[in-house]
Amino acid sequence: MRLFKCQLNAVRSVGLSLAVIVGLSACSSEPLEPNIASVDTAPKGSVEHVQKVSAITDSDLVTADSNAADWLSYGRTYSEDRYSPLKQITRESLDSLGLAWSLELGTKRGIQSTPVVVDGIMYFTGPWSVVWAVDARNGAVLWKYDPEVPTAMASKLCCGVINRGVAIYQGAVFFGTLDGRLISLEASSGRINWSVQTVPEDGFYSITGAPRIVNGRVLIGNGGAEFKARGFVTAYAADTGEQVWRFYTVPGNPADGFEQPELALAAKTWNGEWWKQGGGGTVWDAINYDPELNLVYIGVGNGSHWNREIRSPGGGDNLYLSSIVALDADTGEYRWHFQTTPGDSWDYTATQPIILADLEIDGEPRKVLMQAPKNGFFYVIDRVTGEFISGDNYVYQNWTTGLDANGRPIEAEGARYLSGKAHWLTPGPLGGHNWFPMAFNRDTGLVYIPTGHQSMAYSYRADVGYASHEVPFGPLGGNMSLDGKLYNEPVFDPKAPPPGQRSGRLIAYDPIKHEEVWGIDQPFFYNGGVLTTAAGLVMQGDAEGIFSIRDASTGEAVWQYDVRSGVLAPPITYAVDGEQYISLLVGWGGSQGLLAKAVDKLYPGTLYTWKLGGSAVAPAKQASDMAALTELTTDADLIAVGRGFNHFINVCSGCHELGAGGGAVPDIARSSDAVFSIYEDIVLKGALASQGMPNLGAVLNQQELADIKAYVLYHAARLRAGVDPMALMAELGGLQYQADQATRSKTPVNNVKP
């Protein structure tokens, strides 16, 4: 690991000119040592001060709602409603809101972290599971810890080298690493207390989610359901790292017995030999705790394989995939579950954020949990019993005709795509809402959800079997085993977003009336998480690099700021010495950020912080880093282009997107002539393996690579000709259809030169 002691690191603060940037030369590898001053008189940011204020107790976490100044845990409180009582920053005072400071983090990978703040000390994570401690008043870096995750982990991930945050407790900072470690650091110095490997080291597990603290234990899940993983969540003793309990979300091989009695019942909902591919069900994000009920709620992910017909031939609900499961916080024992998507075949996970709230429903007070999972329905569940209270679609969906009285989906005809033909279903696997935190305002009674609108052509590939892990994440990568198509066969729903079209929408949803109150359309699908405050404000950064503060009742934008790069992370707010601050981590990446830019420049990740009267200078705007489209052309016929597009979707699109890339990974259509001249060495021989481009020699042959190259050059030529990217997706879908027809008939179809 690498530990740095720092005073300032690329900080621009009030009173500093744009040129005054103190770099990493102000850092040293020696640990911070206490000063002579007593704890009571120690200044903020000193070791003594940090030691005192980071000694968070269970009582502090239980009563966090009454502590408006601090942001003590991932969702601020155990309810994780991301509602702040602070109201110094109001609609009326926004005219004086300005930048207090900014901190450049020196990375161009995605940043999804929610910082935690205690008495002016902020902790957060960046790409590659790196942890930062900074003075929340001015951005001065106190220390930085790099767990030195092996770079080879990047090829084992679905969604980028991201991390969503830390937990603080009893003077320690806890976080998970991409390679599956849970680490405890001394909060005042960044020195390691303990580290434990939480997942099998020979698998494709990862950790991207933030840990949670419950009764002296650190709870952590994992990801990797696309890669032969079996999901579980584990509680570790915060002081020693010793495992206390573990709950498996899906049954293993019945011949080996069951770790938990309820798994024997769950196994009856599975068929075949699902355990050979893990089964899936990873707990990669939502973990909540109700201290009054002493229940932990976990959100469970998709199956491995995605398609139930492959992983569990003959059907079954496949418990506890795509479920919310309640556990005893002390023992990890099962209490109840609610399955949002029985027998999931669409990657409709229930891992999305959960909010705990007390609502009056039909005149009666109810303790509920609320979730907007990927499948497009907003659920209100009794968190005491698991009883279904209500569920209505919060985005357009066509995979069901609705929910029955028990909340079970009534599946539409053809939704399971078993006919061998492509069915255009919405939401697609990115979901109507993904990991981006939503927020609940107790005053307006509304839930603010960053939603997305996109479809996918699901089609069954019975001949695929268990896909090779040598294929990067994509339709044939991991255990997805789909046949990626951009055409409908037949047209399942003309109302669904067409091929290549994705958009976002920030909505205010009434969980009592089950309706959208207002919505703001956004041109890009992935936008940042949400914060709401007692001042009647809603805050969100978007993919185009605009941080907006809106009226919580109407959605009207009342203040905006250009943060230069796409936003994924949610903002937080806190107070120090009587001043309210707003902080936002900015850095484009993650699953969609790997694929496409919503702005034309990938800026270094930056932490922005605002306050009333702030006058710091923003980081300078930079020129676009987008290379020109290649001028090379192809003489391949359209059938070859269609075949190449097929291969590209199935093997390459997991990293390079349908449009050949353009996000945090290279845009192939904008490659240099030199790159095209060694295409075979790069793709089939691993010439750039050290830079993250895997060797696909065992996956593609020379003809298939030639077809892919033909597609890429055709794609570039059409863009140079001014064809709209969305229209080009539809055109490519047509070529894909022609190629498929030609393959089926073994005769050329409309075989002409481009």
- Strand (E) or helix (H) holding 685: helix 679-685
Ligand-binding annotation for 290, yes or no, is no
CA distances from 560 to 95, 218, 539, 546, 629 (A): 11, 37, 10, 7, 33
Q: Are 25 and 46 in contact (CB under 8 A)?
A: no
Ligand-binding annotation for 164, yes or no, is yes
Q: Are 318 and 267 in contact (CB under 8 A)?
A: no
Cβ count near 74 (within 10 Å): 28
| Strand-pair partners of 523 | none
Ligand-binding annotation for 701, yes or no, is no
The b/e string for 168-185 (b: 16+ C-beta within 10 A; e otherwise) is bbebbbbbbbbbbbbbbb
Ligand-binding annotation for 367, yes or no, is no
Ligand-binding annotation for 114, yes or no, is no
Ligand-binding annotation for 9, yes or no, is no
Q: Are 393 and 378 in contact (CB under 8 A)?
A: yes
Q: Which of 102, 175, 174, 132 is nearest to 584 (CA)?
A: 102
| CA–CA dist 22, 19 (Å, integer) | 9
Ligand-binding annotation for 6, yes or no, is no
Ligand-binding annotation for 245, yes or no, is no
Residue type, 283: V
CA geometry: angle 341, 345, 347, nearest 5 deg: 75
The strand ranges marked E within 90-191 are: 97-104, 116-118, 121-125, 131-135, 141-146, 167-169, 172-176, 181-186
Ligand-binding annotation for 82, yes or no, is no
Ligand-binding annotation for 159, yes or no, is no
Ligand-binding annotation for 268, yes or no, is no
| CA–CA dist 455, 119 (Å, integer) | 45
Ligand-binding annotation for 643, yes or no, is no
Question: What residues contact 610, with CB distance under 8 A and at least 6 apart?
Answer: 97, 98, 99, 100, 561, 581, 582, 583
- Strand (E) or helix (H) holding 213: strand 212-214
**Active-site positions?**
347
Ligand-binding annotation for 307, yes or no, is no
The sign one gets for the Cα dihedral 69, 70, 71, 77 is: negative
Collapsed DSSP state (helix, strand, coil) of residue 12:
strand
List residues forming the annotated binding site: 164, 208, 224-226, 282, 302, 347, 374, 434-435, 652, 655-656, 693
List residues forming the annotated binding site for pyrroloquinoline quinone: 164, 208, 224-225, 282, 374, 434-435
List residues forming the annotated binding site for Ca(2+): 226, 302, 347
List residues forming the annotated binding site for heme c: 652, 655-656, 693
